[in-house]
Structure 1
Amino acid sequence: MRLARPAIGVIDLGSNSIKALVACRRDDGRLEAIEQRTIDARISAGISHAHPVLSDAGMRAGVEAVVELADMVKAHHPLDIAVVATSAVRDAANGATFAARVTAATGLPLRILSGDEEAQSIGRGLLCDPALADWQSFHVFDLGGGSLECLSFENRRLTRAGSLPLGCVRLSERLIADPAQPLTADEESAVRAFVRDALTAAGIAFPAPLAPAVFCGGTVTTSRSIVAEARNISLAETNPRVTTELLAAILKKLGRMPLDERREVPGLPERRADVMPTALATVLALADYAGFTAFQHSFYNLRWGIADGLLPT
Structure 2
Amino acid sequence: MRAAAIDIGTNSCRLLIAEKKANKSLDVLSRKLEITRLGEGVDQNRFLKEEAVNRVYKALEKYKKTIDKFQVDKIRVVGTSALRDVENPHLLTDKIKKLDLVLEIISGEKEAELNYLGAVSNLDEDFLLIDIGGGSTEFIWPTTSDINFKSLDIGCVRMTEKFISDPKKKIRSLEQKEIQSYVENLLKQKLDLNKKFKVKGVGGTITTVAAVKLALEEYDSSKIENLRLEYFELENILNRFADLDLKTRKKIKGLQPKRADVITAGLIILKTILNYLNVQELYVSDHDLLYGLLKKELLIK
* Per-residue Cα deviation, 1:255-304 (whole angstroms, up to 9, x for no partner): 01111111121221111111111111110011111111111101100111
Unpaired runs of at least 5, structure 2 = none
CA 235–224 in structure 1, closer or farther in 2 if over 3 Å, else same:
farther
1:174 counterpart = 2:162: yes
Given residue 104 of structure 2, which amino acid in structure 1 is its aligned partner?
A: R
* Per-residue Cα deviation, 1:44-82 (whole angstroms, up to 9, x for no partner): 100221x41111110000011011112112211111111
Task: Specify which of 194, 204, 216 is matched with residue 202 of structure 2.
Answer: 216
Contact kept? 1:244, 1:294, Cα under 8 Å: yes
Task: Specify which of 95, 101, 118 is matched with residue 95 of structure 2.
Answer: 101
Please report how far the alpha carbon of residue 230 of structure 1 lies from its aligned counterpart in structure 2 after TM superposition. Answer: 7.2
Count of aligned positions: 299
SS in 2 for 1:160: strand
1:77 counterpart = 2:71: yes
Please report how far the alpha carbon of residue 234 of structure 1 lies from its aligned counterpart in structure 2 after TM superposition. Answer: 6.2
Contact kept? 2:217, 2:253, Cα under 8 Å: no
Please report how far the alpha carbon of residue 26 of structure 1 lies from its aligned counterpart in structure 2 after TM superposition. Answer: 2.1
* Per-residue Cα deviation, 1:174-233 (whole angstroms, up to 9, x for no partner): 11111111111111111111001111121x12323x120110011121112112227999
CA 232–90 in structure 1, closer or farther in 2 if over 3 Å, else same:
closer
1:227 counterpart = 2:209: no
Please report how far the alpha carbon of residue 39 of structure 1 lies from its aligned counterpart in structure 2 after TM superposition. Answer: 1.4
Please report how far the alpha carbon of residue 237 of structure 1 lies from its aligned counterpart in structure 2 after TM superposition. Answer: 4.0
Moved more, 30-39 or 171-180: 30-39
Moved more, 234-243 or 292-301: 234-243
Q: CA RMSD in A?
A: 1.9
Please report how far the alpha carbon of residue 32 of structure 1 lies from its aligned counterpart in structure 2 after TM superposition. Answer: 2.2
- TM-score normalised to structure 2 length: 0.94
Task: Specify which of 20, 25, 50 is matched with residue 30 of structure 1.
Answer: 25
Aligned to 2:148: 160
CA 237–31 in structure 1, closer or farther in 2 if over 3 Å, else same:
closer
- TM-score normalised to structure 1 length: 0.90
Q: Structure 2 CA distance, aligned partners of 1:97 and 1:58?
A: 10
Task: Specify which of 41, 44, 47 is matched with residue 46 of structure 1.
Answer: 41
Aligned to 2:109: 116
Unpaired runs of at least 5, structure 1 = 1-5
CA 121–289 in structure 1, closer or farther in 2 if over 3 Å, else same:
same
CA 241–259 in structure 1, closer or farther in 2 if over 3 Å, else same:
same
The percentage of counterpart residues that share the same residue type is 25
